[in-house]
Amino acid sequence: MASSKQQMHVLAVDDNSVDRAVISRILRSSKHKVTAVDSAQRALDLLGLESDVNMIITDYWMPDMTGFDLLKRVKGSSALKEIPVVIMSSENVPSRINRCLEEGAEDFLLKPVRPSDVSRLCSRMMMR
Amino acid sequence: MEYSNLKRQATSMKQNLFDQGYLDEQFYQLEELQDDVSPNFVEEVVSLFFKDSSRLMANIEQALENNPRDFNKLDSYMQQFKGSSSSIGASKLKSECIQFHEKCGEENIEGCTRSFQKVKREHGILKKKLEAYFQLMRQVGPGDRATCSSN
């Protein structure tokens, strides 16, 4: 039985509609609340309004503003910096991964994202 | 009787798609995510994929005809395509996308065009096969989708 403490509100950011559907379903099947948006700008707009987002999971490569840019904006904001940010990417580039982690990303997931990756992540989040 | 036959057919159809390399583990993982709240998730996301990929293919077709050729744009469309293919477990299709990406890198327009024909072909084949699979699954009914997913 999931208590309200167990449920997170996750903001999923991905310009690819298929990936957005997949990450949303993965999170929802673990009973989390999901808001899915298709750009970093929309994510920032939403974060500006809603304060109950517990975690952000974002694609790296997006047109206009990348996931890395979003990460920097979140970590650079006093209102948002405590929110863990997870980056997803289909490319395994160690220097990119390191840069994200150094910038404060919680984790880096390789696509295709597996349900097991996400549940490991969420367990860790909820143990804080 | 009829029902368990349908179930067997569906399982065997899926196994074939896996054995022949059309689908990979990701597809199974997506089926595992289906539940009472979302019993048709895989069919929905596959349908979304085909809608999205058809659009991308039209863009690629157009871009291949443009002069001068914008290989970066072509590659960017294909990266999207490859990403979605990978997310639904469309293994063969993903491989064809990788081939296209290589031809883009070489700025080889003939190679790209040939490779794109292969992508189109694989796309059509997969669409037909998955349509047949989902049609069968609809006959099997929602109750047993979860159990059908184990291999």
- Label residues B14-33 b or e (16+ Cβ within 10 Å = b): beebbeeebbbebbbbbbeb
pLDDT of residue B144: 55
CB pairs under 8 A between A and B: 54
Distance from CA of A22 to the nearest CA of B (A): 7
Instruction: Check the CA dihedral B33-A112-A38-B134 and report its sign.
Output: negative
ipTM of the prediction: 0.88
Give me the residue spans of the domains in chain A: 9-126
Residue B150 lies in a domain: no
**Are the beta carbons of B33 and A112 separated by less than 8 Å?**
no
pLDDT of residue B135: 93
The shares of helix, strand and coil residues in chain B, as percent rounded to the nearest 5, are 80, 0, 15
Q: From edge to edge, which strands make up the β-sheet containing A9-13?
A: A33-37, A9-13, A55-59, A85-89, A107-110
Q: What is the mean pLDDT of residues B112-131?
A: 96
* pLDDT beyond 60 at A81: yes
pLDDT of residue B121: 97
* pLDDT beyond 70 at B143: no
Q: What angle do CA B18, B32, B3 make, to 5 degrees?
A: 75
**Are the beta carbons of B82 and A90 separated by less than 8 Å?**
yes
- Kindly state whether A22 is in contact with chain B, defined as any CB-CB distance less than 8 angstroms: yes
User: What's the whole-model pTM score?
Assistant: 0.90
Domain A9-126 has CATH 3.40.50.2300: yes
Residue B107 lies in a domain: yes
Contact A79, A60 (CB under 8 A): no
* pLDDT beyond 90 at B24: yes
In tens, the pLDDT along A34-69 reads: 999 999 999 999 999 967 999 999 999 998 999 999
Residue B151 lies in a domain: no
**Cβ contacts of B90 on chain A, cutoff 8 Å:** none
Residue B145 lies in a domain: no
Residue A5: which pLDDT band, with cuts at 50, 70 and 90?
low
pLDDT of residue B151: 44
Residue B147 lies in a domain: no
How many folded domains does chain B comprise?
A: 1
Spatial separation of the C-alpha atoms in residues A16 and B51, rounded to whole Å: 12
**Are the beta carbons of A112 and B26 separated by less than 8 Å?**
yes
In tens, the pLDDT along B83-103 reads: 999 999 999 999 999 999 999
Q: Facing residues of A13 across strands?
A: A37, A58
Q: Tell me which residue range forms the domain holding B84.
A: 6-16+24-140
CATH code: domain of residue B33: 1.20.120.160
Q: What is the mean pLDDT of residues A80-95?
A: 95
